[in-house]
Structure 1
Amino acid sequence: MKFRRGRIGNGLAVLAGARPDVLGAAPGARAKFVALGGVLLSTGGLALVSMAFAVHMALGVWWPFALLCGLGWGLVVVNLDRMLLVGMAHDASLKRNLVLAVPRVGLALILGVVIATPLTMQVFGKEIDTEIVTMQAEQGDAYRASLADDARFAHLPELEERIAAAEAVVASGGRADDGLAVVRADVTAKQAALDAELALARELDAKAQCELDGSCGTGDAGTGQAYLEARAAADAQAAVVVSARSALADAVSGASAAETRSAGLAASSLETDRAELTRLTREQDELQAAFDATNTGSGGLLMRLEALDRLGDRNGTLAAAQFMLSLLFMSVEVLPVLMKLLLNFSPPTAYDRLAALRDRGDVEIEELAQESRKTVAIAKEELLVMAEKERVDRQKEAILARRKAALAEAAARTQAPAPATETPAEAARQMWDTGPIRELARNAAMRTVRTVRRRPEDRMPV
């Protein structure tokens, strides 16, 4: 168990950027690097959980796959944080530390915000879900209002009113048609005229009867001249009443025919209007249903962020809690870089001095090795040059020796007597004939070329 803990601690120290060779010589720095490695693992764990929540909320994927994505993101964050730590070597200069720390702290803050946001949304998940329902209802109402204002459905209210009016006309047999107001007014006028004529006729009849009885008028009973005149006026008025009644009957008949025609026209147009209303209403309902289906499933990451902002705007307590929670997660992310920055301002530890010493020693050893390799390479090149010069000198001496031997042989041939037994021999060469010498020189040159073309190891002196 102790060995296992030691291996885990060594792994954490290496993760924090410690060099095992230097750490072995300065074991006092081990605890610091183990703590830094633990902080790096903590940030990686937060990044893992944050990305898993974000992938699950945004894409709705299966939890094991979301955890796998979170694991990859956690490794990336740990690697970035380790790069930030390793890149900040110990340096007591304030200016250089600030120049190195500012971009690293900025990057750490960005990572902290990215990691903290999904975790914060998960903490306030119930409140966000409630707010999302409200937002979806508002969006549904807004879309319904936009459909009402759409040019395709703008005449729906007018169409509904026309259908209601046509139904009323058909149900009343045409009497509810406002277009027949003139006809109905004519009937009313004829009825008023008939009533007036009837009243006048009754008055004249009463006057004639009164003259007949002698109770009024002249006061003489019987069928006198006054009675005859009164009766004649009453009979004339009766004819007027008959004419007015006939005119009223004609007006009523015309109005009834107009109402019948209006009911027929309303019934014929009612079917077309109903079909158009059904089509437009169905299309409007389909659009609204499609939007509602999309709106119901739109609770993604962006909407959750918007819901969290709305909650924070309305509720100051929630906004403060959100800020503090985000600040906590960002502090955990920035903590390794801040610790490294603070350690740089402290005096160099034994580990720092040993690391610098090892680095200088490695550089010096590498410089010595480079100088030694350079010296050996120069010596080898000089040796090869000397061997090549010696080989060329030997070849020159061999060529000269062969040339002298050829000249001596050619001179001996020219001085020796020709045999008597030989038949016409070849004519003796003249002294200036250099044919054999040129032949020997050509052969020697060819041998020299073949020797030069040999491999370098064949030209090394034995």
Structure 2
Amino acid sequence: MEKIQSFFWYCSGADTETLKKCPTDSNKYIGIGATIFFTGLFAAFAAAYAFYTVFDQAFFAIALGLVWGLMIFNLDRYIVSGMRKSNRRFQEFKIALPRILLAVMISIVIAKPLELKIFEKEINAELSVMAQESYASQENAIRNQYTAPREALQSEIATLKEEITLKAAKRDELARIAQQEADGTGGTGQRSPGPIYKIKKADVDQVESELQALMTTNNQLIAQKQEALTALIQDEQHKVESLEEDSVDGPAARLESLDRLSAKSTAIWYANIFILLLFIVVETSPIIVKLISQKGPYDYELETTEYRFEAASYKDKAFLHHEIKKQSEELSAREKDFVKERLDIKLDQA
């Protein structure tokens, strides 16, 4: 039990020898030390999970997680141990404010990987949706590349066919008029074919000749364009079939997935906020405890110890200053004697 107590004292950043003289403050610093220890432990778990999602290697992730946890533990220990109690609460708060902000930042860093682990099932489902959306986006991008040339070929083919259709329609119309002229149902109304019928029949033959020539030319062009359109469609289909669904599973993708889930679900959004607030409370609790607690025996004893060292330092400085001044005065006296001796020698020589 004493070893556990000493360990949590160490975690709190308190001086164990001084704390032994103040048993009434023992439980307070045990609580502070335990909070700092478990915060570092949570940080190690969170970092190990985050590194595992990046490197996908358990040993490497555990090693880096331990290093990160120890760093957070040491930083928290330094933050709490650096605070000193005084009788001025506002001054204490001003000194503690940067430490509180730092603790909040650490809380956010620690909480986020654990949030990813807590909502892992929901995130995996959302990642599948994101992968499908990514695949669909790539497919649409490919199809959009082929839309304009495909529509252009289809339009050209339709135009060529329309030309043949219009020419055939004109031929049929002229043939109908010539036939009416021949049977007396139209034109001059005479039943036997006459010179007018021959003229109309000649028009039909001419248009028929033009139609055959147009069909020969256009059908060749239609075949070429149809072949090009088929090749274009096949190339498009080949590129679509060669697409592979991206593996969306990195930390950035998981953070984006969690953000999408929070936007979709109010419950998940509130859960994220509560988890973050929980870690902020845990991380800042040692600092808050030191701020709101009264100045105890440990603080007085620590202040006395530090003042004793400070007073001894001032005393050593004063003694050193006195010795330097004394040596300086002695040196000045020797210089005066030396100058006087040199003057006496010059007077004797004169």
Deviates more, 1:76-85 or 1:237-246: 237-246
Cα 1:271–1:315, aligned 2, differ >3 Å: closer, same or farther? Answer: closer
Equivalent in the alignment of 1:120: 115
How many angstroms does 1:370 deviate by?
3.2
- Aligned counterparts of 2:302 and 2:275: Cα–Cα separation in 1: 39
Aligned-residue CA RMSD in angstroms? 3.9
TM-score between the two structures when normalised by the length of structure 2:
0.79
Point out the structure with max Rg over C-alpha.
1
Equivalent in the alignment of 2:277: 327
Equivalent in the alignment of 1:32: 28
Pairing 1:47–2:3 present: no
1:73 maps to a residue whose letter is W
Equivalent in the alignment of 1:16: 12
- Aligned counterparts of 2:195 and 2:327: Cα–Cα separation in 1: 156
Deviates more, 1:127-136 or 1:371-380: 371-380
**Residue among 264, 268, 272 paired with 1:318:** 268
2:179 maps to a residue whose letter is D
Equivalent in the alignment of 1:351: 298
In the TM superposition, 1:52-451 aligns within 5 A as 52-57=48-53, 59-145=54-140, 153=146, 155-162=148-155, 165=158, 177-200=161-184, 237=193, 248=204, 251-272=207-228, 274-275=230-231, 281=236, 285=240, 289=243, 296-343=246-293, 346=294, 348-378=295-325
Tell me the alpha carbon deviations over residues 134-153 of structure 1, each in whole angstroms, 9 at most, x when there is no partner. 2333344445545555xx64
How many angstroms does 1:116 deviate by?
0.8
Sequence identity percentage = 23
How many angstroms does 1:184 deviate by?
1.4
Aligned partners of 2:146 and 2:232 also within 8 Å: no
Aligned partners of 2:157 and 2:222 also within 8 Å: no
- Aligned counterparts of 1:241 and 1:377: Cα–Cα separation in 2: 142
Say which SS state the counterpart of residue 155 (structure 1) adopts.
Answer: helix
- Aligned counterparts of 1:11 and 1:283: Cα–Cα separation in 2: 66
Aligned partners of 2:157 and 2:226 also within 8 Å: no
How many angstroms does 1:271 deviate by?
4.1
Say which SS state the counterpart of residue 87 (structure 2) adopts.
Answer: coil
Aligned partners of 1:198 and 1:241 also within 8 Å: yes
- Aligned counterparts of 2:169 and 2:298: Cα–Cα separation in 1: 114
Aligned partners of 1:16 and 1:36 also within 8 Å: yes
How many angstroms does 1:317 deviate by?
2.4
How many angstroms does 1:85 deviate by?
1.0
- Aligned counterparts of 1:387 and 1:262: Cα–Cα separation in 2: 124
Aligned partners of 1:109 and 1:330 also within 8 Å: yes
Aligned partners of 1:112 and 1:329 also within 8 Å: yes
- Aligned counterparts of 1:340 and 1:300: Cα–Cα separation in 2: 40
1:189 maps to a residue whose letter is E
Q: Which runs of 5+ in 1 are unaligned?
A: 170-176, 202-232, 404-437, 442-462
2:217 maps to a residue whose letter is R
Deviates more, 1:76-85 or 1:263-272: 263-272
2:19 maps to a residue whose letter is L
Aligned partners of 1:163 and 1:270 also within 8 Å: no
Aligned partners of 1:26 and 1:351 also within 8 Å: yes
Aligned partners of 1:163 and 1:273 also within 8 Å: no
Q: Which runs of 5+ in 2 are unaligned?
A: none
- Aligned counterparts of 2:123 and 2:223: Cα–Cα separation in 1: 54
Cα 1:246–1:297, aligned 2, differ >3 Å: closer, same or farther? Answer: same
- Aligned counterparts of 1:93 and 1:153: Cα–Cα separation in 2: 75
How many angstroms does 1:154 deviate by?
5.1
Aligned partners of 2:18 and 2:302 also within 8 Å: yes
1:74 maps to a residue whose letter is G
2:283 maps to a residue whose letter is E
Aligned residues: 345
- Aligned counterparts of 2:178 and 2:329: Cα–Cα separation in 1: 149
How many angstroms does 1:78 deviate by?
1.9
Aligned partners of 2:103 and 2:283 also within 8 Å: yes
- Aligned counterparts of 1:324 and 1:95: Cα–Cα separation in 2: 29
- Aligned counterparts of 1:48 and 1:10: Cα–Cα separation in 2: 22
Cα 1:251–1:357, aligned 2, differ >3 Å: closer, same or farther? Answer: closer
- Aligned counterparts of 2:297 and 2:174: Cα–Cα separation in 1: 125
1:51 maps to a residue whose letter is A
Say which SS state the counterpart of residue 339 (structure 1) adopts.
Answer: helix
2:40 maps to a residue whose letter is G
Aligned partners of 2:142 and 2:240 also within 8 Å: no
Tell me the alpha carbon deviations over residues 152-207 of structure 1, each in whole angstroms, 9 at most, x when there is no partner. 645234135247649xx8xxxxxxx2102443133213431343244339xxxxxx
Cα 1:181–1:364, aligned 2, differ >3 Å: closer, same or farther? Answer: closer
